[in-house]
Structure formats: C-alpha cells, structure tokens
Amino acid sequence: MKTTFIYFSLYFFLFSNLIAQQYVPVTFKKDNYFYNHTVIEGNSLFNLQKIYACPAEDILNANEGIERGLDVGEVVFIPVHKKTITHIVSSNESIYSLSRLFSVPIDSIVKHNLISGNELKIGQRLSIKDAIIPILKEVSTNSEGNLKNIPSNDLTSSLNSNLMNDDLFVLHTVQSQESLYTISKRYMVSINDLIELNNLKTSKISPNDVLKIKLKEENKGDIEQRNVPPSQKTESIQFPSLKDKKSLSVALFLPFNLDSRSDINKSISNAAIEYYMGAKLAIDSLSDLGFKAEFFIYDYFDKTKSLQTILEQKSFLSTDLIIAPLHQKEAEIVAEWALKNNVKMIYSVTFSNFLFENKNAYAMVTNNNILLEKLAVEMITTKKDQQLVLVKSGNAADDLMYQHFLSAFRAEVALKYNSKIIEANYDNYKLFTKNGRSTCFIFLSNEKEKVIALLNHCKENELFQVVGLKEWIEFKEINSEIKNKFSFYYMAPSYFSYNDPALKTFHKLYRKKYNADLTKMACLGYDVVYNACKYFMTDEVASRGLISNFSFVENPDGKGFQNTGCFLLKFEDFESKITFQNE
C-alpha cells in the first residue's frame, strides 16, 4: 500500500507540473489516465480523435452521452494511450527532466536503460516505457491539429536554458515510413541540422524515435503537425463526405470557345471537346451505378458571359464540387471563389502553382517533383546491380531537378539501402563506360542535342541503359526518325496505349458512341470526372483509371491533396511500355 501511495504521489506531482506548464491536464480515474479536453467551437468527435490520435470508440466509451453532440466549455475525457518511445538525449537534459516531460518514474527510466549514476550522455538513446505524451493547451485548441507530434516550445527550464528566444523547438515522434529526408521537407530544415541537433551518428532513424527540430521564428506559422500517410496502394482521404447528399452538383469548366469567330485556337477547343466526350461517358457510367448528380458545363472562354459573372450567379452557390479550368489565370479566379465558399476543387492538369490555398483541393496529375522522388526509389530498387551514373547537363535550369533527385536518392539509401550513385558531367560521363560494367545513365535534361548524343552513344552497347524525362518522347528525332531506334526509361503520371487491354474495351465503347478514335484527353476527362465524383459520393478511394493511377496524400503544408500515382515506362521500338506502376 505504501509503495502504491508513493507511486501515485509521484504522478500527481508530475501532472501538477504539466498543468503549470500550460499542458492539457491529465487525470487518473477508473484505473486509467485521461487528457481533460475543454471543448471549443468547431470541435467534433471526428476532430477530437484526429487531434489526440485516439479512436472515436474509446472517446465514446469514456464519455456517456457524448454521441448526442459537444457543448462549448464541456470537458471531454480522452483516454491516454501510453507509448514506448526512443528519446535521443540533447544537451542539458537529465533523467529528472525526462521523467517530468514524459510523466514516468525516474526508476523506470533507469531500469529500462541500465543507467549507472545520474548523468546522461549527449546523443544517448533512451527507451522511455509507458510514456504519456504531453500536449500543449495551445495546440489542443487547434481544430486542425494532429498531436502525435509534440510542439514543445515550452518544455522545462532545463531543456530550454540553452535555446535562443527567437527559435521554436518541436519534438517529433518518428512514424513508420518516415526518413530524415521526408522530415526535413516537412519542417523546412536541412538533414545536416537534424543530424547535428540530435547528435545522430548516421542518418538512419526508426519508428518511435523522438527528434528535436529547431524552427526559426519566421517558420512558426507555416508548420502543422501531421502523420505520414501509410505506404499502401491507396490513401484514405479524411475530409467531410458528400455521400449523404441526395444529388451532387458539379461544375465543369472547359475552354470550348465556341461562340468566338476570331482568334480561336482550334487545338484548345478540340482538346476541350475531347475532354467533354470522355467526361460525358463518365457521367453515364455514374448514372448506371445509381449515383445522382447534376453536371453544369461552363465555357470559360465564352465572350458573352465572363467567368466572374458565372461565379456570381446565386445558383452557383449550391455547387458541391468544381472541376477547375485548364488554364492558370482562369483556375486562379475559380480557386479564389472555391476557397471563400469552402467548395472542393479538382485540378485535371498541373500548374506551376497548384493553387492549393484550399484545403479541399485535389491535384489529379502527379507533379514533376514527385515523379523525381519515385524515379529515385526505382533506380535504387530495380537498378541495384548496375553502376548508376547521374550525368549533369551543366545547364543551370536543370539544377533544381538534379538536386531534388539526389536528395530523394540519398534519403532512400540512408533509410533502407546501400546503393551508390556516381555524379558525372556531360564532358566526362564516357569515362565510366570503360570499366566493362553494366551501367545506367540518368540524364535529367531536355537539351535535345545532348539527349540525342547520349542515346546514340549508348544504343550500340547492351551494357548501357539510359533514364531520362517524359518530355523526350515529344522530340521528333526520337519518335519519328527510323534511323534513331532509341531505348530509354522515364517516369510519367499517365500511360496511354491502344494496346492496353483495359483501354481496348473502352475504345470500342467510345467509337460506338462518337464514331471517333479515342484520345488521351478524352481518357483524362473520363478518369477525372468518374473517379473524383465516385469518391466524393461514396468515400471509395479510386485506384487505377483508364490512363492514370490514383494514390492521394495530403500535402505537408496542409494545402490540399496530391496524387502520387505514376508509371515507370520504357520507350522502345517507338512505343512506351509499362515496366512499373506505382498505385
């Protein structure tokens, strides 16, 4: 009994200290510990389970009557899920300060880490068993937050005594599938800074490791804490569903330009018509499945009615989903309206700026940075038995692509593999062909003359392979000159081939409907309309479309969702073929 009293008293002291530090209070009752969350406006059960990473069922069981709704000012008891974490010791930390921070007895830390004496070494890894994660009150009032990662700008005086006043520190608990590279991108800090601050001997980290991250004052407002999406074929996007609506109202903006007799761009108009033809078949497919939706088609190049006039119509306020214009200027106008009115926005094409000010924005086409990251992973996993040579073009315009590819490659290597890459330039890359090894040359440039010269150098030797960019297939010297029978690999966001079995069936339907050959633009229209609308009406996450893979992840800054689905294609015999598809 005496031992129990001392143990309980120690916890009472620790929790009292947490309250003083402006943490969410923790109480002990019914043989369990609970965060005491005070409800604010905008809180919901869905919101609380996201904030505290606690299943809704557990919250319901701990709070009788909560299923009827939450009242502002009400105290909700959130069950504490203790965790065993790995903490890397920083300067000025002690066993005592860590016991206060994670609400565990000093004896427990000593017992599970075989510590002799009271001193800890900087960089030492400690296993903290049954840790209670402290949560700042300030963060608990953020209805968008996810508190698996711990903002700790107000820890203990011993932790902060050596910190600059204009810095913010965050304790981040490493999740599965995370690497130093992904964490550095999320918090906008360098990998070297993470290694130095946490006294890491290597760049390898493991799930449940706790990293200290130093954020400058100017970055504080831009950082939100989130989970890394699990590595799987499709991602479950958690935003309010439209599935309970009896009928969905969808606005589709296309550049038909049908009423203009001057300065008409026929190629743009034809593309819009093809997109609409594919979209119309998608609408028919949705109807056949029993989904009810009203589609309103708007020509945003209509000179008799401006885009702003369309948006100002009262009837437009009932719109549930917008498929954005295909042009940047017009997309920005519609995006501003969608943000103001909290309407979901779908982008069918990539823009230099994805216009992701709206948290409900979805990019259906995988952007170039993600393609480079996926390419880096593929080079490591599929070309591990080859000599990898990254050939730098020497063109400053290509530097960002090379840097992004190298960062992703090194991060992936540090996480799982022991692959190496040779960095060469265009003037000396041939030196690496003289050792008789099977070699893969990676050339991330669109300088046509250098591309053709590299392909010519490699095409006669079966030991050499070339990896390039999707834009190469547009070069007539590559796709139409019989003498240039080139072969190379590239990563692409979509794959369109009349020989694809799934596409053959759809092609027959398309010809029967329109007496015309299927186009890539028509497939894009079908994929976007069918998959986006089906998801928002059913919560069923799309995977493979006609020409696209769909795997959505939330952007690190919280501004919308990005498709990460893509294909590794091989261009051979004047045709691209799938070698790998990431879903």
Domain containing residue 256: CATH number: 3.40.50.2300
Same domain, 268 and 124: no
Per the structure, the count of domains in the chain is 3
Q: Which of 457, 492, 527 is the last residue of a domain?
A: 492
Is 68 domain-assigned?
Answer: no
The per-residue pLDDT string of the chain (583 residues; one tens digit each, 9 = 90 and over) reads 333 333 333 343 434 443 344 578 888 777 788 888 888 877 777 678 777 878 877 888 888 877 667 788 888 999 998 888 888 887 777 887 788 778 888 878 888 887 766 678 887 888 888 888 877 665 555 544 333 333 332 322 222 222 222 344 566 777 766 777 777 766 667 777 788 777 777 667 877 777 777 754 434 343 343 333 333 333 333 334 455 556 788 999 999 887 654 566 778 888 999 999 999 999 988 888 888 888 999 999 887 888 989 999 888 888 999 999 999 899 999 999 998 898 999 999 988 666 666 778 888 888 898 899 899 988 888 887 888 999 999 888 888 899 889 888 887 776 666 678 888 888 888 888 777 789 999 999 999 999 999 999 998 788 999 999 999 998 988 887 777 788 999 999 999 988 888 788 899 999 999 999 999 999 999 999 988 888 777 766 667 889 988 888 877 666 788 888 899 999 988 889 988 555 5
133 three-class SS = coil
Token code pair at residue 420: 């190496």
Q: Please give the pLDDT value at position 230.
A: 38
Same domain, 99 and 213: yes
Contact 233, 583 (CB under 8 A): yes
Same domain, 357 and 372: no
Is 134 domain-assigned?
Answer: yes
Same domain, 218 and 86: yes
Same domain, 358 and 504: yes
Is 29 domain-assigned?
Answer: no
487 burial level (CB within 10 Å; 0-12, 13-18, 19+)? middle
Same domain, 555 and 542: yes
Contact 352, 346 (CB under 8 A): no
> What residues make up the domain containing 549?
248-367+499-582
Q: Please give the pLDDT value at position 14.
A: 39
Same domain, 329 and 449: no
Contact 484, 478 (CB under 8 A): yes
Tell the residue number behind the tokens 């000010």, with chain if given.
357
Same domain, 178 and 216: yes
Q: How many CA atoms lie within 13 A of 413 on its CB side?
A: 15
Q: Which of 492, 513, 533 is the last residue of a domain?
A: 492
Would you list the DSSP string of 395-456? -GGGHHHHHHHHHHHHHHHHHH-----EEEETTTGGGGGTT---EEEE-----HHHHHHHHH
Tell the residue number behind the tokens 């992904």, with chain if given.
182
Same domain, 442 and 430: yes
297 burial level (CB within 10 Å; 0-12, 13-18, 19+)? middle
Q: Please give the pLDDT value at position 280.
A: 93
Is 3 domain-assigned?
Answer: no
Q: Please give the pLDDT value at position 187.
A: 66
Q: Which of 492, 512, 529 is the last residue of a domain?
A: 492
- Say which residues have a Cβ less than 8 Å from residue 23's Cβ, sequence separation at least 6: 134, 135, 136, 137
Is 43 domain-assigned?
Answer: no
Q: Please give the pLDDT value at position 165.
A: 28
Same domain, 255 and 353: yes
- Say which residues have a Cβ less than 8 Å from residue 133's Cβ, sequence separation at least 6: 83, 102, 147, 148, 150, 173
Is 298 domain-assigned?
Answer: yes
Is 39 domain-assigned?
Answer: no
Same domain, 136 and 170: yes
Same domain, 186 and 332: no
Is 52 domain-assigned?
Answer: no
